[in-house]
Copies of this chain bind each other. A is one copy, B any other.
């Protein structure tokens, strides 16, 4: 397996960053993550737009344009020859002499084995807990997952698979996924602010009847369905929240229908880009 690190392709086992990098010293950097499916970089334009936006928000200069980044991604997979994979692009704060000011960022692109079920009939059922938290700079995909990693032990203790962040009574997102509910009136809503705008979320918002808007903690408690979206999880149904069943306690009809529409969109994208 090779990775791309600072202008060159090298074996993953040799890829290292100096201890003076601001990622190690101050946890400072941004990243993006997406999938290769049937040899196609799924929604790569959307992910690169978000990657470049995160970099801009966090004041990290990127010395490659979008076309150059796409070429790097393709060359990496020509070398690694993976038909299905996860792709992670990390842009670090860079080598910082004083461990405080932003340096010249390091760009890292790596692939990992990742194979999803080709045609799942139902969304996976997961259990979640809630936690009061707002990410530092929600609109950017920073590498700061201090809270998400830290909460893993509590999730294990409570037999939960994920955690839903809320703040000031408003629901925001999961550490690595967007949140959706089907409310009491049957309307599909995803929080509109203080979130990372996910690419799977974007695909769902293209579907009639899916809206963005405020979602309160009370909305979540009375929701018919709750589900999460991400590039690696597609759609998963939250069937238990803080130990209480959501709706029927099983993946619901809306999440199931949206999963099938999402899979259809994936097939169309792959068909158009293969």
A residues within 8 Å of B by Cβ? 3, 5, 12, 15-19, 21-29, 31, 58-59, 88, 90, 92-93, 99-102, 108, 110, 133, 136-137, 142-150, 152-153
Tell me if B27 and A23 are in contact (CB < 8 A): yes
Q: Which residue of B lies closest to A97 (CB)?
A: B112
B150 pairs with A27, CB closer than 8 A: no
Contacts of A31 in B (CB 8 A): 25
Q: Give 15 A-B pairs besides A26-B143, A88-B99, A136-B146 with Cβ atoms closer than 8 angstroms.
A: A15-B18, A15-B19, A16-B16, A16-B19, A22-B149, A25-B31, A27-B28, A27-B142, A27-B145, A58-B146, A59-B150, A59-B153, A102-B149, A137-B146, A144-B144
Selected from B12, B21, B110, B149, the residue in CB contact (under 8 A) with A28 is B149
Main secondary structure of the interface of A (DSSP, over half): mixed
Cβ-defined contact, B19 with A110, below 8 A: yes
Q: Which residues of B are found within 8 Å of A145, using beta-carbon distances?
A: 26-28, 100
Contact status B149-A26, CB under 8 Å: yes
**Nearest residue in B to A102 (C-beta to C-beta)?**
B149
**Contact between chains at B5 and A152 (CB < 8 Å):** no
**A-B complex: 6 closest residue pairs judged by Cβ atoms:** A27-B27, A16-B16, A26-B145, A27-B144, A136-B146, A27-B143
Check A146 against B28 for contact (C-beta < 8 Å).
Answer: yes
Quick check: B59 and A90 within 8 Å, CB to CB?
A: no
Which of A24, A93, A133, A153 lies at the interface centre, i.e. has the most chain B CB atoms within 10 A of its CB? A24
12 contacts between A and B (CB under 8 A): A17-B17, A17-B24, A25-B90, A27-B142, A28-B150, A59-B153, A88-B99, A100-B145, A136-B136, A136-B146, A137-B150, A144-B144
